[in-house]
Chain A
Amino acid sequence: MKRLELWLYIAQRGSALVLAPLVLLHLAVILYAVSGGLSAGEILGRTRASLVWPATYGLFVVAAAIHAAIGLRVVVGEWTSWRGRSLDVAMFGFGLLLLLLGLRAVRFIA
């Protein structure tokens, strides 16, 4: 693809813009839930009450999969000697794995 690096960079920053508010929300949820001693039933009762939670966390999973795969590709390319097509394929696989694992977990709270 022409200008692959530039488009990956744009996807990286774009996903970061999506992630920032979602991470803030996630941190708020963590801080809220950690002291409550909530049971699994209570947690799932709340997440399943509305589509907002699964939809929000679904978006979180998609953005995180994109962001982590692109970021890790840059790190590996700069800090190891692994570059090129095989790295691209491996990192695409890593992103796909995150997406599938994440969507499975989100389906559980829906």
Chain B
Amino acid sequence: MTGTLRVEIWRGAEDGRFEAFEVPTQPNQTVLDLVTYVQRKLDPSLAYRFACRVGVCGSCAMTVNGTPRWTCRTLVRKVAADGRVRVAPLRNLPVIKDLATEMAPFFDKGQEARGRFIPSDPSAKAVATIPPEDPKRKEADGGIECIGCAVCYAACDVVAWRPEYLGPAALNRAWTLVNDARDGDATGHLQAVAEDAGCHACHAHQSCAEHCPVGLNPARSIAGLKRLVILAALRGQL
């Protein structure tokens, strides 16, 4: 297949600019392929992040033509507007260089939301039995398998307007733990997401669910947290 594509890539840190490259087109080319071609053949100083290339690790998310996406699973032909692709770093995160963002605020919020498993019985030897039809298990099911790519975080306008907001991924994680029968600290998780930057800041824009590459619905998880937090607050349990 012949032909080239005009690829505009963000260069620099916060105060940078777009630089244009001509990249040869290939069948079934992904956006990550474009960026990799530029780094390997045209400008080795280009900084970007990737690891698995098959949609598992969540490290290659970037802004493609204005939309946050996992670039390793985004086909160029699906997003190339009039033969042009513009690749920028993820929104709502500090830019380190070119396409690499500082991910620390995103992962720190996972901890701030107490998004870690607190075993109810650390000495348990037997595997906990949780029936697949258990309602809480089903709720948790809808939120697990997040790959931590921060696409939802970049898509969320509440994060943009209220930078301290915990964001969809951290709250979604908290929701899976609240519904985990093996977790022993439901109140602790609820207390964490009831803080000032917590779940109640969400306006149900649902951009998180619209953009999640693995089809999760963090807005649904956040709505669930809101219900539990309201009940806990009214009962004086927080």
Contacts and interface: CB of A to CB of B under 8 A. Distances in A.
Check if A and B associate: yes
Interface of A: 3-7, 9-10, 13, 77-79
Interface string B175-219: 000000000000000000011111011000000000000000000
Contacts of A3: 194-196, 233, 238
B161 A7 contact: no
A5 B196 contact: yes
A7 B200 CA distance: 10
Nearest to A83: B162
Contacts of B162: 77-78
B171 to A, nearest CB: 14
B229 interface: yes
B161 A6 contact: no
A5 B200 contact: yes
A56 to B, nearest CB: 25
Contact of B161 (A4, A10, A13, A78): A78
Interface in B53-77: none
Contacts of A13: 230
Main secondary structure of the interface of A (DSSP, over half): helix
A4 B238 CA distance: 13
Contacts of B126: none
Contact of A7 (B158, B197, B198, B233): B233
Contacts of A6: 194-196, 198, 200, 229, 233, 238
A5 to B, nearest CB: 4
For the complex of A and B, list the 5 residue pairs with the smallest distance between their C-beta atoms, beginning with the closest: A9-B200, A78-B161, A5-B196, A6-B194, A6-B200
B127 interface: no
Nearest to A3: B194
B124 interface: no
Contacts of B195: 3, 6
A20 B195 CA distance: 28
Contact of B196 (A4, A10, A78, A79): A4
B1 interface: no
Nearest to A5: B196
Nearest to B230: A10
A79 B162 CA distance: 9
